[in-house]
């Protein structure tokens, strides 16, 4: 059958407002948020229900049309951007955006895959429950996308990443069949845990349409501080001391290097800088608890003093907590405004993190004298955003990307780490996946892909 027959069938199924074919309408869906990848698509479908997704997938199977699932299009790796062939259909989940049910007694929420993360957080808060997943793109990313990349964010230290926050999934397979694994169970040992295959699969196995996610009691007290630290080793020691004293009340521990403060000061003039002079290193720490009697901020201050922290800014209320977090959350945008950098999202065992920073920096500057390293991230998870700016901040900076990646990723491998901690592979890191996870690991992944998607139509060019 022809392309026009395929589009006519889709049109009949979805109606004109949920099938976009005009290149002007498609443009923003074909460009990734870092503006690094620009693809083309045959059309974009916006189904409104699982049954419509299944019908779209059956048509794609009949007509051998590749499918690119898309949520909020906030991937950092071009994972949701179609290739340049113009053959693929983008399947957007944006019309399936409902929070279906909060079960406070079961501590679960059931959502459609297109629900925006902040909408899920708010619906749960209204029911006195916490959905803890949170990161800078929370206002635009969608649950299906967050699941498909197994996103992490600011609260992984206490609550885990999307994999750990998920109890059940509903998925439409490339054939159009629906797998209903939408279970709200903490315990379910019934063979292979299929949902785990879809979490982190980056749209290469099927379309996640609904999810059951875990909730927690809503903390009644929060405290945050930004503490100046001499180096990452001191930051790690502080984290250990805090955890010894207050356990998992430490919900976030974010390391921030001096260049991050400089970039935020340059690009967000209205945002007050917490320290003068700017410190080499600082940590943004948050504690949270339920039913706390003493003010948590007093306890945090006391703990910082006991740990010998000489300079810190303590937030005195919710609004000051938000201001401290804005300093952290604007770092990615400040970098974007500064220009092109070679970005890495790496993890090493938490205990090795200071040594990794000490080892990798000198290797980079030995090879590239003008390299400026911008380090920040989730120290408590051993996960750093480790980005390299050069003097030339135009797209020419990508010329040395492979050489810079090799230095960073080889160093990560020496420390037993991962070259992709939370952003996934997309089309940016396919070569690294083949190199650092080659052999039997890659072969098994490719065989799993063949079981679900034997014709290779799901999100071509991503992962492999």
Ligand X SMILES: Cc1cc2nc3c(=O)[nH]c(=O)nc-3n(C[C@H](O)[C@H](O)[C@H](O)COP(=O)(O)OP(=O)(O)OC[C@H]3O[C@@H](n4cnc5c(N)ncnc54)[C@H](O)[C@@H]3O)c2cc1C
Query: Site residues (CB under 6 A) for ligand X?
Result: 33, 68-76, 79-80, 93, 113, 135-137, 141-142, 144-146, 148-149, 151-153, 202-203, 207-208, 332, 422-423, 459, 462
Residue 151 Cβ vs ligand X, minimum distance, rounded to whole Å:
3
CB atoms within 10 A of CB 133: 28
Residue 282 Cβ vs ligand X, minimum distance, rounded to whole Å:
18
**Closer Cβ to ligand X, 332 or 417, answer by number:** 332
Tell which residue, 276, 160, 265, has the closest CA to residue 228: 276
**Closer Cβ to ligand X, 252 or 297, answer by number:** 252
**Closer Cβ to ligand X, 51 or 231, answer by number:** 51
**Closer Cβ to ligand X, 108 or 383, answer by number:** 383
Rg, Å, the chain Cα set = 23
d(CA 64, CA 57): 10
d(CA 235, CA 241): 10
Residue 1 Cβ vs ligand X, minimum distance, rounded to whole Å:
25
d(CA 411, CA 389): 18
Residue 67 Cβ vs ligand X, minimum distance, rounded to whole Å:
9
Neighbouring C-alpha atoms within 13 Å toward the C-beta of 253: 26
Residue 329 Cβ vs ligand X, minimum distance, rounded to whole Å:
7
Q: Is 112 exposed, middle or buried (0-12, 13-18, 19+ CB in 10 A)?
A: buried
Residue 196 Cβ vs ligand X, minimum distance, rounded to whole Å:
14
The answer to whether 35 and 155 have CB atoms below 8 angstroms apart is no
Which token pair is 398? 């990508």
Residue 342 Cβ vs ligand X, minimum distance, rounded to whole Å:
17
The answer to whether 210 and 182 have CB atoms below 8 angstroms apart is yes
Tell which residue, 388, 259, 263, has the closest CA to residue 338: 263
Which token pair is 175? 């054939």
**Closer Cβ to ligand X, 203 or 259, answer by number:** 203
**Closer Cβ to ligand X, 119 or 422, answer by number:** 422
Q: Is the peptide bond before 277 cis (omega within 30 degrees of 0)?
A: yes
**Contacts with 360 (C-beta within 8 Å, 6 or more apart), sequence order:** 386, 407, 408, 411, 412
Residue 384 Cβ vs ligand X, minimum distance, rounded to whole Å:
11
**Closer Cβ to ligand X, 75 or 110, answer by number:** 75
**Closer Cβ to ligand X, 341 or 459, answer by number:** 459
Q: For strand 89-92 and strand 67-70, is the pairing parallel, antiparallel, or unpaired?
A: parallel
Of all residues in the shown chain, the one whose CB is closest to ligand X is 145
Q: Please, where are the H alpha helices in 184-287?
A: 195-198, 232-246, 258-267
**Closer Cβ to ligand X, 354 or 424, answer by number:** 424
Residue 130 Cβ vs ligand X, minimum distance, rounded to whole Å:
17
**Contacts with 433 (C-beta within 8 Å, 6 or more apart), sequence order:** 420, 425, 442, 463, 464
Q: Looking only at Cα atoms, what is the longest distance across the chain? A: 73
d(CA 78, CA 139): 19
d(CA 347, CA 273): 28
Residue 423 Cβ vs ligand X, minimum distance, rounded to whole Å:
5
Question: What φ, ψ does residue 285 adopt, rounded to 5°?
Answer: -120, 135
H helix or E strand, kind and range, residue 256? strand 250-257
**Closer Cβ to ligand X, 299 or 462, answer by number:** 462
**Closer Cβ to ligand X, 299 or 378, answer by number:** 378
Residue with tokens 């785990």: 196
**Contacts with 279 (C-beta within 8 Å, 6 or more apart), sequence order:** 228, 229, 258, 261, 311
Residue 178 Cβ vs ligand X, minimum distance, rounded to whole Å:
13
Residue 277 Cβ vs ligand X, minimum distance, rounded to whole Å:
28
**Closer Cβ to ligand X, 151 or 411, answer by number:** 151
């Amino acid at each position: 059958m022809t392309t026009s027959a395929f589009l006519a069938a889709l049109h009949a199924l979805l109606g004109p407002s949920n099938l976009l074919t005009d290149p002007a309408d498609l443009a923003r869906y074909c460009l990734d948020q870092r503006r690094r990848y620009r693809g083309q698509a045959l059309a974009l479908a916006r189904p409104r229900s699982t049954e419509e997704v299944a019908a779209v997938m059956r048509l794609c199977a009949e007509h051998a049309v590749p499918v690119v699932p898309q949520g909020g299009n906030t991937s950092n790796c071009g994972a949701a951007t179609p290739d340049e062939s113009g053959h693929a259909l983008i399947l957007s989940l944006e019309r399936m955006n409902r929070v279906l049910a909060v079960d406070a007694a079961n501590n679960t929420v059931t959502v459609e895959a297109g629900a925006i993360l902040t909408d899920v957080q708010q619906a749960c808060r209204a029911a006195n429950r916490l959905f803890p997943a949170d990161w800078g793109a929370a206002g635009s990313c969608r649950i299906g996308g967050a699941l498909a990349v197994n996103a992490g964010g600011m609260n992984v230290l206490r609550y885990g990443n999307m994999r750990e926050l998920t109890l059940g999934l509903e998925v439409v397979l490339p054939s159009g069949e629906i797998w209903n694994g939408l279970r709200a169970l903490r315990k379910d040992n019934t063979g292979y845990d299929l949902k785990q295959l879809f979490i982190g699969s980056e749209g290469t196995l099927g379309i996640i349409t609904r999810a059951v996610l875990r909730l927690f009691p809503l903390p009644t007290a929060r405290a945050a501080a930004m503490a100046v630290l001499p180096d990452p080793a001191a930051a790690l020691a502080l984290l250990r001391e805090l955890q010894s004293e207050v356990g998992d009340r430490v919900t976030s521990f974010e390391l921030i290097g001096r260049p991050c403060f400089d970039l935020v000061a340059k690009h967000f003039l209205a945002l007050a800088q917490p320290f003068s002079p700017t410190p080499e290193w600082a940590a943004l720490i948050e504690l949270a608890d339920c039913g706390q009697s003493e003010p948590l901020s007093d306890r945090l201050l006391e703990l910082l003093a006991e740990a010998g922290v000489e300079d810190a800014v303590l937030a005195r209320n919710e609004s000051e907590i938000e201001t401290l977090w804005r300093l952290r959350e604007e770092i990615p945008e400040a970098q974007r405004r500064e220009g092109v950098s070679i970005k890495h999202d790496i993890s090493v065992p938490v205990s090795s993190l200071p040594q990794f920073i000490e080892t990798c920096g000198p290797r980079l500057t030995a090879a590239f004298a003008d390299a400026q390293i911008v380090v920040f991230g989730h120290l408590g998870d051993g996960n750093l955003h480790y980005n390299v700016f050069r003097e030339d901040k135009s797209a020419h900076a990508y010329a040395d990307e492979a050489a810079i990646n090799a230095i960073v990723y080889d160093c990560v491998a020496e420390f037993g780490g991962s070259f992709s901690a939370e952003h996934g592979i997309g089309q940016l890191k396919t070569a690294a996946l083949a190199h650092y996870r080659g052999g039997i690991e890659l072969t098994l992944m490719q065989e799993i892909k063949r079981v679900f998607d034997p014709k290779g139509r799901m999100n071509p060019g991503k992962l492999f």
